[in-house]
Amino acid sequence: GDSVTQTEGLVTLTEGLPVMLNCTYQTIYSNPFLFWYVQHLNESPRLLLKSFTDNKRTEHQGFHATLHKSSSSFHLQKSSAQLSDSALYYCALTHTNTGKLTFGDGTVLTVKP
């Protein structure tokens, strides 16, 4: 079945430094759809950004990610971390018509002053 791997369980950064959260996936289908969801403390997950186009950068709220089918990756990046970016970030995968989203284990990002 589908799987999503987020290698870092916890990332701690100083405010102003760049953010990169890793996400790789496995699927037998050739047209995957990749998502990043963010969950702030005591809140529910909400969509941050999504993509299904190979090698096209997608951006939202200062974050960006590019789906690379050749390396099965969809890393989340931001040029300068803010204190408010501290949250739990999930990478997720689906494909056409499945109606199911497979989530990675999540990465907790903590941004310190």
Residues making contact with another protein (CB under 8 A): 1, 9, 31, 33, 37, 43-47, 50, 52, 90, 94-106
State the nearest-atom distance from the C-beta of 46 to another protein, in Å.
7
State the nearest-atom distance from the C-beta of 17 to another protein, in Å.
25
Cα 42 to its chain centre, rounded Å, is 19
- How far, CA to CA in Å, does 16 sit from each of 10, 83, 85, 108? 18, 9, 11, 17
Give whichever of 1 and 113 is closer to another protein, judged by the CB atom: 1
Give whichever of 15 and 102 is closer to another protein, judged by the CB atom: 102
State the nearest-atom distance from the C-beta of 44 to another protein, in Å.
4
Residues 92 and 74 sit within 8 Å (Cβ to Cβ): no
**What count of residues does the chain have?**
113
Give whichever of 15 and 22 is closer to another protein, judged by the CB atom: 22
State the nearest-atom distance from the C-beta of 27 to another protein, in Å.
12
In the chain, helix, strand, coil percent, each to 5? 5, 50, 45
Give whichever of 57 and 100 is closer to another protein, judged by the CB atom: 100
d(CA 96, CA 2): 13
